Structure 1
Amino acid sequence: MSAGRLVVGVSGGSGIPYALNVLRALRELDVETHLVVTSGAKRVMTAEGGPQLADLTALATVTHDDRDLAASIASGSFRTAGMLVVPCSAGTLAKVAGGFADNLLARAAHVTLKERRRLVLVLREDPLPRPMLLNMLAAHDAGATVMTASPGFYHAPGDVEELLHFVTARVLDQFGLDVPGFRRWREPPRQKAEG
């Protein structure tokens, strides 16, 4: 397995800034990223007016077209440390839970599960209806880690970037990656080096 290579999926849930923050952190950590963005995510970007596709692709090592089911990340022989989907829409969650691979993001997630690699789905939607809760459980039972984009406040965040950073750090913890500047529970603040 290549510990320095991750697939990053971005689907059509609100929360594209989380994807941007994750890609920034992975670039700083020198992790090779294979980005796939769904058509739904592109619509959300336009509607929300935040980070756009060019912002995400500028941070990725390789970008794949979501319609290309023959891309490298569609095969289990393409070795990675796993995949994360941030944000993960309710529709994408349902596809992962049901094994329905009609686009590259869903196919790459399916491959990640079949190869027993880590798959992290980061949801950002409330309230959670029963079908979504059942799909979360089914995805969990299939081997995925289901997380919500729910930042903590024990680190006394001063701005939105710090809230995004918290979620990024917790997501990347799932891959054994330490995000610089993340303060864990009961961990004292780090002293800045004098220079």
Structure 2
Amino acid sequence: MGRDPSAPSAEDRDRNAGIRNELRTIAFRLREMQRLQSIRLEQENVRLAAEGLEPVTDADFFKRTARPREIEPEAITRAVETLGEASVDEYLWVTLLDGSRIEGHAGPIDYEPDERLHVELTPTHETRIRYELRSSRDEDRWRPIIVRKFERGAEDWTELAQVAEVRLDDES
């Protein structure tokens, strides 16, 4: 029996691995450039303020065109399991894919390990806001956890971003 002609050869796999590594390096360098631009923007705002000029208020202007990075399936599974193990009223720190963070006390938790996750999060000092973290399982993997925000007085939930990392109160 011969080799499957539709299967990639070892040479193709090596070439693809090389390309993947180059793309990861480029992505890393782009993120580092964004970080340095942000630092430079802060420095420029200090200079503008010293001269009595109005600072740049849209500090993430360059992020609007950035392609969101993807979260590894293992990281999604870890975050889902961490949230699933949380207790009601336990304090959670959640880092979103865009780098922002939310934190607060866990509200109702609906977790079925092979089906779905739904957690409500209430910030400690902001009673007008609630967050909802949701994910579901497709066949053998979890979908990214999506965070939505609801502010009292708003008509509907606003989708914020995907979860990149979750930490419970007792974790260091």
Fold conserved between structures, TM > 0.5:
no
TM-score (norm 2): 0.25
Q: Which has the larger radius of gyration?
A: 2
TM-score (norm 1): 0.22
Select the structure that is richer in helix. 1
Structure with more relative contact order (C-alpha pairs < 8 Å, separation 6 or more): 1
Select the structure that is richer in strand. 2
